A and B are shown apart, each in its own frame.
Chain A
Amino acid sequence: MSLSHLERLEAESIHILREVLAECDKPVMLYSIGKDSAVMLHLAQKAFFPGKLPFPLLHVDTTWKFREMIAFRDETAKRLGAELLVHTNQDGVAQGITPFGAGSRTYTDIMKTEGLKQALDHYGFDAAFGGARRDEEKSRAKERVFSFRTAEHRWDPKNQRPEPWKLYNTRKKPGESIRVFPLSNWTEMDVWTYIAEQNIPVVPLYFAKPRPVVKRSGAWIMVDDTRLPLEPGEVPQLKTVRFRTLGCYPLTGAVESEADTLDDILSEMRESRSSERQGRLIDHDGAASMEKKKQEGYF
């Protein structure tokens, strides 16, 4: 047995991807454009080679993603010849929900969680791949690779199915669905090492570059377009920053960094003493906030 740990992780993820395709009726891949999605998509290409991607990609667009993310998303779908579905919660748009004012909590619920449920119901997908990893957050650490959702999309953390060995029970009742996490056992370091090793394209926002930013609640927020309301006296300044995690631009903090190559990112990570989700403002609503969001259907 001479497989390295990345080779073992890769083989396990491919096994999970194939298991879903073989046992589920209508799978979809949640494509959130970030580095984890990039790795998951790359693994799917490997799993089904020489065939093309046998399921569509779904992006739940909150309309507040970075412009570079949207450009990268369209480019990627085109490059791979993949079917790309984009869904936006139009009710939320009509109600004028934004990441500001009403507070980020309502915004995430309506634009992300509700948007996702709408899309899954609309297309009738029975299995959805997500790029979440167990090392990201404490409640994720206890989530199964195959995570079941009721017809109302709820997660019951106390009643999860055992997954011994590589045996996944994919049986479900009508209306129920499965969220599948092929990257469950990957760490942030594994993801970047694999991206470097396999030369996987990622959004340029991960690499340091001078960008216009303002400081909010201790985080650098990029002024990606003119919709970001500036506080009185707030003036965007040019700082060399990069992002460790990507989401909606008004809610995603950049870090000051000079790392503009994959090698730099890897060595910066080895020095780093803070977690990647630190930049995500939505996670700090309460100690168990992710668990609550997940119970309600957040990915």
Chain B
Amino acid sequence: MASALSSFRRDTDPPVASNRKTLLRFITCGSVDDGKSSLIGRVLFESGSVPEDQLATLEADSKKFGTQGAALDYALLVDGLSAEREQGITIDVAYRYFATPKRSFIVADTPGHEQYTRNMATGASTADLAIILVDARKGILPQTRRHSLIVSMVGVKTVIVAVNKMDLVDYSPFVFHAIERAYHDIAKALNIPHVTVIPVSAVAGDNIAAPSTHTPWYHGPSLIDVLETVEVESVTSNAGFALPVQWVNRPDSSFRGYAGLIASGRIAPGDAITVVPSGRSAVIKRIVTYEGDLDHAEAGQSVTLTLDREIDISRGDVISSSRQPITAAKALSARVLWMSAEPLDAQKSYLAKLATTTVSAFVKAPETLLDIETYQEKHVETVGINSIFTTLVTFDRLIAVSPYGDNRDLGSFILIDRLSNEVVALGLVVTVDELARGLPVEAPPVKRLVFSHDPLRRSLLKTASFAITTLLLAALLFAVGPALLAGSVFALAEIVLFFAHERVWATTRAGLPIEKEFISSGEGI
């Protein structure tokens, strides 16, 4: 315990630009039998985040409720609700906070039992990283596969597999490597790009804050090493600018601002924007904040935008870059996690809340459900609690939406029962229905006439072409009979010819400076 502590850099060290620390949100998955709460309690303890008076309570509680005999039961630091303490299980997501000089951490400590899958998915939805616990004595269990599926479904790209209770298998490298190999197969099946498998003991403190002498055969990082150094991938880094309007700020007649949290991209005054779904365009005038106007703003910031002209924008609209406008759709294919004990009713109108929009939604009954342990599709009659499936969701009007992989804020939604107000499902947009699209993503450029009068070069072209035509006519008449070349016949023929020649020219744009490109910025929808 003491050796682990000494090597771990606690937040009590002199701060290094403490206000420029980064934030890492992570989730821990596993059941209480895997020692999940103990692991988190241990991490909190070793980071110096457990105050003395809480340690005193812990000592008293360990004697009363503890499962570790006379030793401190770190799990009691995190199991908060009385029902959980009595039953020794975790029911709800608990959020924990700790910091090291490099980073601040928000931990979503989530329940492991299958009946609480929805709480796990909720915790995972905002996580940058997941710690999945595996009991070294039991190896990969169906629940390991379930947790891995859920975290990969909500887009977590980095997973730490903590093979816990290594002390109970005598720190056997064979046990560890077998689990490591088995997990890499899961990661491959689910496309999880970054996986680190670490042998740990939450109770003994091995490889939590520092390398353990019990595992000389393990050369990888400690758990906290990974947490402190892992690069967090931003899923929306390449997406165009999008701000779902939360609230229209109109303190008086002279100011009209659109407030919201930037979902993706970057914006600056002077940028052209298109409002989705209305398709109206404008230019950003100011980015207003309490500290003064900004010269640019980026994803993750809460700002207020003003525009160069008055257009109709209300809550639920999305202000997006004109170069890369967000699509508007009335239907989409979504991956849904059903969270209600009440089964899905395909005839029922639910409310869908997506970013800042709330609309009526119908959910098509899926033909198959995903088996959350084997990852195979299986046929079923009804959709019940914790079912995962992909299906068609239709709305009563066009809304701005993106696939989840491109834009998390515009690609995730919840479904609400109108009567009970219960959140019955969460959903992730897989594809936006092409047929139901309202706004062309890349509208083809439209060419229009700019000048209608003939410029000199067109007249010269016409003259030259008429001279050639006249010469041809003269040659023709001469061949028929040289006498025809004389007098009124030639003049009359030339007048007819001139008219025909002019009509032929009317069909061509040759010589006209007419071609200028217009982007049909949403007009005509």
A residues with a Cβ closer than 8 A to B are: 1-12, 14-15, 18-19, 21-22, 45-52, 134-135, 138-139, 141-142, 157-158, 160-167, 169, 171-173, 184-185, 187, 189-190, 193, 197, 270-275, 278, 287-288, 291
Contact = CB atoms under 8 A, between A and B. Distances in A.
A2 B119 CA distance: 30
B82 A189 contact: no
Contact of B259 (A18, A161, A166, A167): A18
B251 A50 contact: yes
Given A5-B21, A167-B353, A167-B413, A141 B80 contact: yes
Interface in B75-102: 78-83, 85, 91-97, 99
B8 interface: no
Contacts of A173: 421
Instruction: Specify which of B57, B97, B299 lies most central, judged by the most chain A CB atoms within 10 Å of its CB.
Output: B97
Contacts of A134: 95, 97
10 contacts: A4-B23, A5-B104, A8-B300, A11-B301, A22-B356, A49-B290, A270-B13, A275-B53, A278-B51, A288-B82
Interface stretch (B121-129, B222-230, B485-493): B121-129
B294 to A, nearest CB: 12
Contacts of B300: 1, 3, 7-8, 11
A162 B122 CA distance: 6
B95 A273 contact: no
Nearest to A5: B23
Tell me what chain B mostly uses at the interface: helix, strand, loop, or mixed.
mixed
B452 interface: no
A7 B126 CA distance: 16
Contact of B422 (A10, A18, A161): A161
Interface string B41-64: 000000000011110010001000
Given A47-B302, A142-B81, A291-B80, A185 B247 contact: no
Given A167-B412, A167-B413, A4 B99 contact: no
Given A22-B356, A169-B353, A287 B416 contact: no
Interface of B: 11-13, 15, 18-23, 51-54, 57, 61, 78-83, 85, 91-97, 99, 103-104, 106, 118-119, 121-122, 125-126, 232, 234, 237, 246-247, 249-251, 255, 257, 259-261, 288-290, 298-302, 304, 315, 339, 351, 353, 356, 408-409, 412-414, 416, 421-423, 426
A4 B19 contact: yes
A187 B105 CA distance: 10
B247 A21 contact: yes
B421 A165 contact: no
Given A18-B246, A161-B423, A169-B421, 15 more contacts: A3-B300, A5-B21, A8-B23, A18-B259, A50-B257, A141-B78, A142-B92, A162-B426, A164-B126, A165-B412, A187-B104, A270-B15, A273-B51, A278-B53, A287-B61
A17 to B, nearest CB: 9
Contacts of B315: 22
Given A11-B302, A46-B290, A163-B122, A22 B247 contact: yes
B408 A193 contact: no
A167 B424 CA distance: 13
B126 A141 contact: no
A274 B57 CA distance: 12
A171 B249 contact: no
B301 A7 contact: yes
A52 B61 CA distance: 48
Contact of B409 (A9, A10, A166): A166
Given A162-B426, A197-B19, A291-B81, A272 B246 contact: no
Given A185-B95, A197-B19, A274 B80 contact: no
Contacts of A45: 290
Given A5-B104, A8-B23, A18 B409 contact: no
Given A167-B353, A187-B99, A270-B11, A49 B304 contact: yes
Contacts of A160: 92
Nearest to A48: B249
B251 A52 contact: yes
Contact of A50 (B23, B288, B422, B426): B288
Contacts of A51: 249-251, 255
Contact of A49 (B11, B260, B288, B299): B288
Contacts of A172: 421
Instruction: Specify which of B57, B257, B259, B315 lies most central, judged by the most chain A CB atoms within 10 Å of its CB.
Output: B259
B426 A171 contact: no
A162 B53 contact: no
A274 B255 CA distance: 48
A47 B290 CA distance: 8
Given A51-B249, A171-B416, A291-B81, A162 B423 contact: yes
